Amino acid sequence: MKHSDLDLHSRGQARFVDDLPEPEGLLHAVVLASSVAHGRIKGLDTEKAKQYRGVRAVLSAADIPGSNQIGTLVADEPLLAEDTVDYVGQPVALVLAGSEAAARAALPCIKLEIEELPAVLDPRQAQEQGELIIPPRTFCLGEVEAVWQRCDVIIEGRVDSGAQEHLYLETQGSLAVPGERGSVRVISSTQSPTGVQRVIARILGLAMHQVEVEVTRLGGAFGGKEDQATAWAALAALGAVRCAAPVKLVLHRHEDMVYTGKRHPYSSDYRIGMSANGQVLAYEVEFYQNAGAAADLSPAILERTLFHCTGSYFVPNVKATAYCCRTNIAPNTAFRGFGGPQGMFVIEAALFKAAAALGVSPAELQEKNLLKEGDTFPYGMAAVRCSAPICWQEAKSRYDYEKSQARVEAFNSTHRLHKKGLALMPVCFGISFTNTVLNQGGALVHVYTDGSVSVSTGAVEMGQGVKYKILEVAARVFSIDRGRIKVESTSTMRVANTSPTAASTGADLNGKATEIACRAILKRIKEAAIKELGQKDPAKAEIRNEQIFYDGEKTNLNWDRLIPRVYTQRVNLSAQAHYATPGIYFDKAKEKGEPFAYHAYGTALCEVTLDCLRGTYEVDAVKAVHDLGPSLVPQVDLGQAEGGIVQGIGWLTLEEVLYSEEGRLLTGTLSTYKVPDIYQTPKELEVHFLENTENPLGLFHSKAIGEPPLMYGIGVYYALLAAIQAFRPQADLPVVAPMTPERVLMTLYRDRLAGLRGFNPRSRKTVSP
């Protein structure tokens, strides 16, 4: 791709936090974290560590000049533990030394005395004990209670989905440099520069204008740096201000995996009521979200689960309740999909089971209940420009669903120890932050006198390619060569009060702001141009590929010649702009509203082959038809779609987060935690962007792409379940994810294994909350 940073990445010249040149007098910070999941702090003695050679300071909660509070939605999370520790990995103290080695070596010299308290790891147990972070929330549509007796078939079940480690390539990190009068400048690997700025100001007792946060790029984030980059930036800033020296804090991989939260595991109960002909009449569901030890973004994630509890289907009677359960593991956090995938996973389970009960294929039920134009979501919004049916039909025909089904059936009837499974997976994902306030973006654009253009926005580049979309917007509005445009780092001094780059909205919100700013400058340029041309009507001036036209006629002006003259006319060549998504709102008292600008739709066909002797499997194909509107930068969108699909597959198949009964993470390394690699990537991975679609609220009619494709991975899970079902047609299969090869094997031979005396699948007792 042209104009990209690929050359920098491939040469190793792209700078991440840990690559920045080290300022004079740099101190390295290392965190002392709790090794106990729940306990009372009885003593913290840092004296000996302070004496350690090379150590400059050891800081604890008492050294925080402002308020020791980093909670975003709920004020329930200290930066450094005070009276209690609530999870393994919770920061308790910070060691600052001239070298990282010295800081690490001093860690064992800190005496931390903890009186252990009982730890709760299971969300259902937490709920029973009243450990809820916010009161339960319920979304209702129609009258569930009144409908059950009209149902011909009612199915109930339980569904469990696991956590997921973000595994961004660049671990959490920050570099803080103290400035004059107690101010501080912070480079942070964060999706939320303003969030970091706000918390640092609070922690240090500063005004926000004394804190600058800058981000050049992140080595991946996936939601893991939406809220959880903050602590490390705040600790670095605290160290910098206390020691009056620059401080760098970059987590090692293992630290990062232990200290930071993950995708929320959910345990859910559902009840689905069907008519004999396959119509879903009623759906009731309870979600137990394992939030971990502090709120973090859990309440918002819980909300998005409720918004997506009916997936891509119309269900006339719904009651969905969600519990945000406090447990003693690291606070779980945003992860691509933000609770949506967990909600959609459950309704797919309900349909899978209902299909078995009705003796039809899941696809038949999915199709029968698929959303269509005008259908109402449980939160009261209607589906408009609903492309769910088109994507579904297009996927079926483009990828020969009927033929594939026949082929899979033929294969399964002729193979005893290999089975294939097929599933269609429709996705419907609401685009906008569910918290309406966050749906705003900003941009600051300068045109310099040589005609080059600088664009700053609130968007953070994390490898998702938002900067190429922003660049594309500026290039299209000005109609100039892309090489003239530079998309700058993200700084709270250039664009203020930014929302995190999240919820798939980075390009929409900040791209729209960029468009507005560029149009404002363009208008002034045109007004200046007609003066140069001795003409009257700026509406007749036009720039096409850097050439100025008037009334359709080519003039002697081009961008290069015009811009210096605009300057000479003393015209402002800079603009700041703001965009707020129009028309959206949500009433939390009623749990109704129009929270989303629009929905993204699509359908994937997924196929797997299972080795029923070994429990191993291959993903043969994931082929999706996705409604993206007209793509702004197709390579970027394709990359997001493919990456999202593989990440979704990883969540539900290979990636298993396990804790010991004492709440210690057992999967904190890459030898114990398996992320998908090239072998788990579908052998056929195809994404077709639906043509001839429009999206008035999108950026140049395009649609957001970051999160929706992840949920195609759910289809791979149900394809696996279908393959297992082909091997054990009579079994009532548990719906538990991830479906690791180990779990596949256990599921295939469950009855036989249950009969084996003393059979223990693991040598060590583990908990997957």
The footprint of ligand MOS (CB under 6 A) covers 191, 223, 226, 334-336, 338, 502-503
- Binding flag, residue 433, ligand LUZ (CB under 6 A): yes
3-state secondary structure of 761: coil
- Binding flag, residue 435, ligand LUZ (CB under 6 A): yes
Give dist(CA 521, CA 731) in Å, integer.
66
Give dist(CA 227, CA 192) in Å, integer.
7
Binding mask 223-262 for ligand LUZ (x = CB under 6 A): ---x------------------------------------
- Binding flag, residue 151, ligand LUZ (CB under 6 A): no
Cβ 2 to ligand MOS shortest distance, Å: 27
Cβ(419)–Cβ(610) below 8 Å: yes
What are the residues whose beta carbons fall under 8 Å from the beta carbon of 439, sequence distance 6 or more?
A: 432, 433, 499, 505, 509, 580, 581, 584, 597
What are the residues whose beta carbons fall under 8 Å from the beta carbon of 730, sequence distance 6 or more?
A: none
Minimum CB distance to ligand MOS smaller for 226 or for 348: 226
Stretch that binds ligand LUZ, among 12-20, 57-65, 288-296, 428-436 (CB under 6 A): 428-436
Catalytic residue IDs: 707
| Residue 403: both structure tokens together | 């033929």
- Binding flag, residue 502, ligand LUZ (CB under 6 A): yes
- Binding flag, residue 222, ligand LUZ (CB under 6 A): no
Minimum CB distance to ligand MOS smaller for 236 or for 334: 334
3-state secondary structure of 346: helix
- Binding flag, residue 280, ligand LUZ (CB under 6 A): no
Stretch that binds ligand LUZ, among 167-175, 432-440, 451-459, 693-701 (CB under 6 A): 432-440
| Chain center to CA of 307 | 16
- Binding flag, residue 498, ligand LUZ (CB under 6 A): no
| Residue 306: both structure tokens together | 């409720």
Cα angle 468, 510, 75 (rounded to 5 degrees) comes to: 125
For residue 767, give the H/E element and its range. Answer: none
Among 304, 592, 599, 664, binds ligand LUZ (CB under 6 A): 304
Give dist(CA 422, CA 381) in Å, integer.
32
For 480-597, strand residue ranges (E) read 485-487, 490-491, 541-544, 547-550, 553-558, 574-580, 585-587, 592-594
Number of shown-chain residues binding ligand LUZ (CB under 6 A): 12
- Binding flag, residue 712, ligand LUZ (CB under 6 A): no
Give dist(CA 517, CA 512) in Å, integer.
9
Quickly count: other Cβ atoms within 10 Å of residue 547's Cβ: 15
Query: Of ligand MOS, ligand LUZ, none, which one does residue 434 interact with (CB within 5 to 8 Å by kind)?
Result: ligand LUZ
Minimum CB distance to ligand MOS smaller for 438 or for 739: 438
Minimum CB distance to ligand LUZ smaller for 487 or for 503: 503
Minimum CB distance to ligand LUZ smaller for 226 or for 515: 226
Cβ 261 to ligand MOS shortest distance, Å: 12
Minimum CB distance to ligand LUZ smaller for 324 or for 521: 324
Give dist(CA 682, CA 646) in Å, integer.
8
Cβ 198 to ligand LUZ shortest distance, Å: 14
- Binding flag, residue 377, ligand LUZ (CB under 6 A): no
Among candidate residues 484, 479, 482, the one with its CA nearest the CA of residue 542: 479
Query: Of ligand MOS, ligand LUZ, none, which one does residue 433 interact with (CB within 5 to 8 Å by kind)?
Result: ligand LUZ
Minimum CB distance to ligand LUZ smaller for 46 or for 189: 189
447 bridge partner residues = 453
What are the residues whose beta carbons fall under 8 Å from the beta carbon of 593, sequence distance 6 or more?
A: 379, 380, 381, 584, 585, 586, 587
Query: Of ligand LUZ, ligand MOS, none, which one does residue 191 interact with (CB within 5 to 8 Å by kind)?
Result: ligand MOS
Query: Of ligand LUZ, ligand MOS, none, which one does residue 278 interact with (CB within 5 to 8 Å by kind)?
Result: none
Cβ 502 to ligand MOS shortest distance, Å: 3
Cβ 577 to ligand LUZ shortest distance, Å: 23
3-state secondary structure of 139: strand
Percent helix / strand / coil, the chain, rounded to 5: 35, 25, 40
Binding mask 283-302 for ligand LUZ (x = CB under 6 A): --------------x--x--
Minimum CB distance to ligand MOS smaller for 166 or for 185: 166
> Using CB under 6 A as the criterion, which residues of the chain lie in contact with ligand LUZ when the complex forms?
226, 297, 300, 304, 334, 338, 433-435, 438, 502-503
